[in-house]
Amino acid sequence: MSDSYAANGDLVELSVPASSAYLAVLRTTSAGLGARLGLTLDDIEDLRIAVDEACAILLPIAVPGANLHCRFALHPDALEVNVGVEAARAELPAEESFSWTVLSALAGEVSSSAGDGRVAITLRKKRE
């Protein structure tokens, strides 16, 4: 996502310790921003679960003491969530895996990236 987007819409960034104890902060933020976008209650819940699942995939590969960095970008018709972490190894589930299928079903669009010691998952939930 380009920095020029910030001038065209709302952008929220959070950084929390890479620990399951802080995932509630990201789930709550997802729900609040999903509601702001006008997602249905079912879509908000799907988004919360998808963010939780993406984080659960990233936590085991995080470098000790790392932070989860989460960027929420509100588009006119969608919420894009990018969660990334400094990783000890760039291992993500294959796009054919059960985890990826669950993420795709919950979020709609899912992609990943790895490089420079970081791994990220991007979810995009569109408003119906």
For 70-97, the pLDDT digits (tens) are 999 999 999 999 999 999 888 777 778 8
What gap in Å lies between CA 44 and CA 37, rounded to an integer? 10
Tell me the one-letter amino acid at 81.
V
39 belongs to a structural domain: yes
Model-level pTM greater than 0.85? yes
Express each pLDDT in 96-120 by its tens digit: 888 888 898 999 899 999 988 999 9
2 belongs to a structural domain: no
119 belongs to a structural domain: yes
Q: Which runs of E-coded beta strand occur in 1-128?
A: 10-17, 67-74, 78-86, 109-115, 118-126
Tell me the one-letter amino acid at 119.
V
The pLDDT score that the predictor gives to residue 5 is 47
Taking the CA of residue 8 as centre, how many other CA atoms within 13 Å lie in the half-sphere pointing to its CB? Answer: 8
The pLDDT score that the predictor gives to residue 3 is 45
Whether 15 shows a pLDDT value over 90: the answer reads: yes
Residue labelled with tokens 């993406």: 54
How many folded domains does the chain comprise? 1
Structure tokens of 23?
Answer: 């995932």
The pLDDT score that the predictor gives to residue 101 is 87
32 belongs to a structural domain: yes
CA-wise closest residue to 66 among 51, 89, 86:
86
31 belongs to a structural domain: yes
Give the mean pLDDT of the chain: 89
21 belongs to a structural domain: yes
Tell me the one-letter amino acid at 68.
L
Bridge partners for 125 per DSSP: 79
1 belongs to a structural domain: no
100: domain CATH number is: 3.30.565.10
Tell me which residue range forms the domain holding 52.
Answer: 8-126
3 belongs to a structural domain: no
